Every structure is written in structure tokens, then in C-alpha cells.
Amino acid sequence: MPQQPPPAASLDPGQVPGAIDEPPLISADMHPPVDLAEDLERFNARLATYLKPEDIARVGAAYVFADAAHRGQMRLSGAPYISHPLAVAEALAGWHLDPHALSAALLHDVMEDTAITKEQIAERFGQVTAELVDGVSKLDRIEHQSFEEAQAENFRKMLLAMARDVRVILIKLADRLHNMKTLDVMRSEKRRRIARETLDIYAPIANRLGLNALYRELQELAFRHAHPLRYRVLSKAVKGARGNRREVVSKILDAIRQALPAAGIDAEVMGREKHLYGIYRKMREKHLSFSQVLDIYGFRIIVKDRATCYLALGALHALYQPVPGKFKDYIAIPKANGYQSLHTTLIGPFGTPVEIQIRNADMHHVAESGVASHWLYKDESSIDQLQKKTSKWLQSLVELQSTSGDSSEFLEHVKVDLFPSEVYVFSPRGKIFALPRGSTPVDLAYAVHTDIGDRCVACRINFETMPLRTELRNGDRVEIITAPNAAPNPAWLGYVKSARARSKIRHFLNTKQHEESAALGERLLSHALRDLGLALAKLPAQAWDRFKRASGARSQKAVLAEIGLGKRLPAIVARRLAEGVEAAAPAGVATEGRAQHAILIHGPEGVAVVLGNCCRPIPGDPIVGLIRKGRGLVVHTHDCPAIAKLRSERGNWVDVEWEPGITGMFDASIRVIAKNVRGVLARVAAGIAEADSNIVNISMDDDSGEATTLFFTLQVTDRVHLARILRAVRRIPEVVRITRYVDTKH
């Protein structure tokens, strides 16, 4: 960002020097600073390696336009502001991006920091360039509730623009790279915030797009600014270890360079030192000291073709003993970002673990440049597959946006989707699915299809029935079992890992909550209107129209949903509707006799009607209802201790009754005090089972005395069923006391 930029006048594209047919980026009358002239000369030379003269002229015109727009603006470092967009464009030139992207890189800050408009850019440089600049530009002149919300909205806009054109994110990543390289002039707290943002968002996006070199560089820069002391200490330790391990590395390199030609394999062998952030993350995640991280060096082997990769692997396994479980074949099953290599870990001289990557030249191009390989190596067939995978992921962002509630939720889903590690599982037909590590069968169900996820009820992993929360492992064969009337369980949100699954479950629950809340709101409003002698079904449209205008409500259904969620009191809505009825047709509205009717409770009705977790009411209990904001109708027993804490909400209480003939299973809690002897838990559980009840949960107090206290959550049909269970357990000799339990902590 420029340092206190002066307000720039709106530039008429016709007045900006530098027409399309001007070939040089530097003209004699520009007189740029010496350091900037060197940058321009280097940029010119890079463009000349792959662009036509007319394309270079187009980029030159964009530079002149940007230079004029930013004239007088300086960076915090004191450099002219144009040096920043020039550095961004130079990075893109390294990926051989087209003139539109290069022009957009040079112009990417003019809409944000000057008075130049998108229309002016489109008129001067074309609609494609203007759309790219707009996609990169931050949102401005929009008020947000917080900095976090503004950032989330910016990411949402940028990622959706990226879904339309991947060049948007390439420009943004190059922009972030240069900002990270010049971050030293910022305040320490701002440096840490930007570094954290880079680690959380931009570096994972670079990795997801296969931009490996950029990914590592962003991580290193972010680590240095986020944890400067740790960076310095670790850097010093690596330098010290470098000298100590030089002999070992040289010995391994020589051995590999002799073993491969002896096996008839022509290969390029490179030793590489692991990046500091990778070492730091390994130390932190595995709780290791630096001296325990032995594999700070790795080796990369480049061979001529795919088949030779496996021959080289065999030769290396004959040279050094491989570590079991440390072999990964990313050639047969590439990563989602198109990365392909063989990974193996060997035990080298002196017991040193040696990490080795084996790939061919095409794979190496993709591994280093990722999606940018499309521009660097257009004639390679492997790029087509990479482009398809990238396009599929970008389209998934659009789908996430459509099911996310707001920008913050969308950003959360994207973060989940940027997990670098993956697990590969198979469907019964042998199709491979790549999922985030830690995924469950529910994640796979949603990866197959939304309907499969919504109707998922069970699964078989490797032909064995397993719980839906089971963590999947590489190579698992997973079969999803569905039921026609099944629906997503809110508990799934506690263990799903993929952004798609989390987004789809939330979308279903939010939609279901709206529908159920509207149905509950209709019942509550009908009840309130009957007290005023009115019938909901016979209210005139004028009464609703008047209410919506006065309250700002979007629709009648939205009003009913807000009543069901406790955001509006049914009595107040009823009175205002009654006023509208009198104003519209005081004598012509049919009414019902004034009477008091209780709301009938059919059971735990999803998300609109909730049975209190404190007292766990069951059919047969006297009950009361309370409309809680955002929760709908919460039902308690009439003697629930929690009611005393809610006296202030007197106006939100409603009369409720159990529906006659109600059926179903309800949770009930009991407390059992029993002698602390061997087998008592089994005997109590057997007594509960004999009374035809299922145990949902068991816990106990940590009591080492003569007696112990057991807490059970059971499934019962009604109060009579619970009494039968209590009698059955009370007959067990070891049971001292048994009571129904109310949790006063809720």
C-alpha cells in the first residue's frame, strides 16, 4: 500500500502517454530512478524471451498508464510505488503469462489507490484486463462490522473471481510475494497479522494450485515475520548442522550417482536442504528438538520417463534399506493439485534417514509451477489433466459460495478445503477419491453426490460395518449405505473434514430450520390470534401488507420463521395484525370464539422444537414452553430448576401439552448410587436392557469409596416406561439408590 497517497486526479485514457504501438517499456523522456531502470531492463529482457513485439508494446502502455496513475505515491520503504506493480508483473513474466495478465499486474492497484475506474481500464486495455484488475482489487467504500468481516468479504470476492479466471489468483499471489519480501518496514503487529494470513490462506492456495516453489517461499517469509526469534534460532542451528552433515550428504550423493548409472539409468541427482518452516512444523507437531530432526536434507532425482522412475526406485532400495510405511506413489495416484512423484525414505550412512523424490522432467515442471505450467509448457499432455483438476476445484468454490451463509462462513469452508495432506479411498466400483486427511465416510458420501450425503445412514469399510465417524485411511474400500427418508445429522459437523460436506450439511440444516421454524411460528401465531378472536387463515392480505411495511419483514413466511426462532413475540405480532384487520375491514373478518388453547408437542421436532437438556421432559411430565431467541420453542418440565433462572423472560412463555397418543423414543437421565464392587455396571446395564430400554450414554463420578455414582442417559417411551426401568434397577442388590436426574449446569 502507498504511504499516505495524495488524491489522484481521474485520468482520461486519451491523455495518458504511451500508445499501444510504443514498443519500449523505458523511453528516453521518462528518466526513471537508477534502481527502477535496472528492474525495467530486467523485465524487458524477460518479456523478450517469449512475447511478440506488439504484445510487449501493450504491456509497455500498461506500465506507462500505471506510472502516471501512481505518480507521487511512495511505498513505506521510500521507493516509488510503481516499483511494486512492476515486481508483481516480473514474477508473472517468470511464469510466461499472457499480456492481459501482465497488464493487469501493472494496473492491479490503480482502482484501489487512485481515482481510475474499471470503465477507464476497459476502454484503454480491454474488458479482459479490466476484469482481472477488478478481481484483484480489494472491496472499497463498503462498511463492514469488523476488520475480519472485511477481510472475509475480500477473500470471497477474490476467490470467486479466481473461479472465473485463474489468472486473478496468480496476480494476487505474486502481489503477496512481493509484499512479504518488503514487509520489514511495517509495524511488528501488522507484520505478524499479514504473515499469519499468508500462512493460513495464500500459501495453502499456492500449494493447492501446485505452485510449489512459491508455496515454500511464502511459508519461509511468513515464518520469518510471524516468529522472528524462532526463525533466527533455527536458521543458526541449520547453518551449524550444515557443516557437520556435509560429509554425510556428499557420501550419499556420490553413492546415488554411482548406483543409478550402474543400473543403466540416466538421471539428474540434486541434494536439497529442507526449508526452515518445514523443520519447525515437524518439531512442533511431533514435539521434537532440533537434534532429533535428522532428515533436514533430501534428494531429488529427475529421470527421462515414467517407467524409469520405478526402475530408479528399485535401484535405490537395493542401495539403502527403505523405511517401512514411508513409501508414497503420487505417480499412480497424483495429488489433487496435479503433483506427481515417487517418495521414499531410506536409512543412509550412520543411520541417517534420507528422503528421496523421483520424477521425470514433465512432472518436475508441474511440481514447481503447477497451474502456471499451462503457460510455461503448453504442449505437454499432462497439463490438460492438471487444468481439469484445477477447474474442478475452482468450480467447487462457486458451489461453496452458493451454500455458505456469509463471507466468514465461506472463508472458513475454503480454509478447510486447503488442507495440504490427503487420504485416498476407493468406492466399491474402484473409483479413487482424494479427501482431506482425517475424513470420514460422511465426507466421502458428499464427495460422491449431495443426495448420497443427505441420505447416508451407515457404511461398510473394507466389507465391515463401521460407524460413520470412523477416520478413513489410505486404500480403504468404502461403501455408503443410504435410506430414502434419512436426513443429515447435526452431530456430523463435529467430525467431517471436507469443506463440501460441512457446507452441504449446514445448508440443509439452515433450510430445515427455516422450514420447521416457519411451521412452529404458524402454530404459535395461530394460538395468539385465537386469544384475540381471529383466525390466521382468514386474515386479509391488507393486514399482512401493513405489518410487513411497518416491521420491514421480507415476507409472511419470514415473519413466521422469526416467530418460531424467538426473534418475534407471537402476541405482539398478533396484536399488530389485529390492528391491521380493524383498519382493513373492521366488520367483515370472520373470527373464532376467544379461547385458550395449548400448543401440542409431538416430540423433539428437529431444530424448531427442542426438549430441554437440563430436565429432559418425556410424555407424561407436566411441561411448559419458552420461546428462546435463535433456538425456537424450548420445552421444560414444570419443576425444572432452569425455569427459575428464566423468570425475566415471562412474556415468552407459552402453554404446551403432549399430543394424545404420542409415540417415539425420548431421552431421560437417571442417577444410580451403587456399591463399588466388581461387575455392578454390567448388572445395572443388564437390568436396563431387560426393561426394554437402550443406553445412550454412561458416565460416573470418580469415587474410590464404598459406593460409586453412575449416570445413564436412556431412551424411553414415556413416564410409565421410565418408572418400570427404575423398579427393575432398584431390585439389583448392589443398588443403594436410584433417582431421575436433572442437570442443573444446563
Catalytic residue among 22, 112, 273, 605: 112
Instruction: Confirm whether 355 is a catalytic residue.
Output: no
**Cα–Cα distance for residue pair 340/333, rounded to 1 Å:** 8
Residue 690, classified by CB atoms within 10 Å of its CB into exposed (0-12), middle (13-18) or buried (19+), is exposed
**Exposure on the CB side of residue 129, measured as CA atoms within 13 A:** 27
| SS3 state of residue 516 | helix
The set of residues, in sequence order, having a beta carbon less than 8 Å from that of 396 and lying 6+ positions away, is: 417, 499, 500
**Cα–Cα distance for residue pair 498/435, rounded to 1 Å:** 7
Grid cell listed for 94: 517468470
| SS3 state of residue 745 | coil
- Which residue intervals of 290-380 are DSSP H helices? 306-319, 361-369, 373-376
Strands of 533-606 (E only): list them.
599-601
DSSP, residue by residue, 201-252:
IIHHHHHHTT-HHHHHHHHHHHHHHHSHHHHHHHHHHHHHHHHHHHHHHHHH
**Cα–Cα distance for residue pair 165/186, rounded to 1 Å:** 31
Q: In DSSP terms, which residues pair with 423 in a beta bridge? A: 435
Residue 626, classified by CB atoms within 10 Å of its CB into exposed (0-12), middle (13-18) or buried (19+), is buried
Provide the pairing of β-strand 456-461 with 464-466.
Answer: antiparallel
Catalytic residue among 113, 165, 412, 417: 113
DSSP, residue by residue, 67-114:
HHHTTT-BBTTSSBTTHHHHHHHHHHHHTT--HHHHHHHHHTTHHHHS
**Cα–Cα distance for residue pair 124/637, rounded to 1 Å:** 72
CB contact at 8 A, 331 and 341: yes
Instruction: Confirm whether 113 is a catalytic residue.
Output: yes
CB contact at 8 A, 712 and 688: yes
Long-range contacts, 426-430 (Cβ 8 Å, 24+): 426/475, 426/476, 426/477, 426/478, 427/477, 427/478, 427/479, 428/477, 428/479
Task: Name the maximum alpha-carbon separation found in the chain.
Answer: 104
The letter for the amino acid at 388 is K
Number of H helices, E strands in the chain: 28, 21
CB contact at 8 A, 470 and 442: no
The letter for the amino acid at 668 is A
By C-alpha distance, which of 525, 550, 520 is closest to 537?
525
Q: Which residues belong to the active site?
A: 112-113
